[in-house]
Structure 1
Amino acid sequence: MLGSYIMALKIKDHYLFAFLTSFAFSTAPIFIELTSWSASTRNLFLALFPLFLWAVFWFNKKRTYLNKPILLIIIFGSTLMTSHRISFLITIILLSFTLAKIVWYIKDKPRILYYTNKLSENVRFLILILLFILMFAFQFSGIGFYSGIWNDYQSGALSQGSGLFSLFLNLSTNYIGQIGILIPVGLIGFLILLRKTKKDSNDIFIICLLMLSASILALGIYMAPFLLP
């Protein structure tokens, strides 16, 4: 609860927002399931992951890099990597951070700025949505890592079959059943973030993080505790 609270303050410096975030995080079905009368390594990951994100947000928001957030990133990252195999998803954090830094660096370049300024806000929003759809569609390629990734979603509480509708319905009910109220709230926030005119470095980092996460959403057993924070 404390970890999600201080993580939220790095996203938006508003105590009511942080309180509601902490409340929603600590009452999410998967959080309750993993922490009720148990002390597994997976719930250790779930408890410490918001603190890791807090340190990354802190590091990303400073104009000059400080020793404290770097040290905290190393400490929390090392602890997470020794807690559970789900920690391989930290790679997505590092890739997203690198991608966000590249985007942040080139976005103000004269040539890039010239072309992006010619695009309307609606066109930019549509391009971002199409990028997310493209990343999600990678999971249907069946190439290498993606081979058989949808097998677990061919049977669910509401649908049976290997069609796109059945797979997406079973995927959605799985995430709603684990993350709860933060799913609709998160989707609304996600769309608002994409529509935001002036995005700061953390906004770009979150978009890059969610975009890369969209490419492995079918790994629900790992992605649900990862996406909850």
Structure 2
Amino acid sequence: MDRKKLVVLSGAGISAESGIKTFRDSNGLWENHKVEEVASPEGFRKNPKLVLDFYNARRRQLKEVHPNEAHLILAELQEFFDVHIITQNVDDLHERAGSRKVLHLHGELLKARPIDSDEVIPWEKDLNFGDLHENGSQLRPHIVWFGEMVPAMEEAADIVEEADIFLVIGTSMQVYPAAGLIHSTPDHCEIFIIDPHLPNDFTRSENCFQCGASEGMKRLKNKLLA
């Protein structure tokens, strides 16, 4: 008998429990920078060193944090379900927890690419101005910045269209186009949401857990395996 396909859309909230700051603080800044300064093609053209230093700090922080219980439970569920994770996060915590099928919508901190091509290369050290691809082009972080296309969206939609169970965890469902993936679920798909900030009309559903990622995953695991 084929295992049910569990598709997970994860966002910053799941990584926050590992100590990675969410995308924007309440003041609208990201690590005290305006987002357009460090996460846009215009910002990179204007001040490439600032952008590279910003992501170097994110990359170094990644070595100091570890997967949390939510990441680990999602990896454990591979024993019972065909688990596919579609993440808006650029960290590698899902992979380090043991999840095998992870699609990154917004790029990956531990990869780089030349400014004039889509060729992606592994990159774990600092990335500096003057670090060039073999073709002579400056390397940039492999991050989808504001104003850029999300190349993995079509693949993500194809995965969601085959879901038997769809879980939204750690994301407010306000960042598009990722938030629109829930509309690609098939009619038979059962949808679960884990979010400490759910509006009341959601929390009345037994499939919605108004709590943090790790607590929600413990409760969801018990429900799914019951």
**TM-score (ref. length: structure 1):** 0.28
**TM-score (ref. length: structure 2):** 0.28
More helix by share: 1
More strand by share: 2
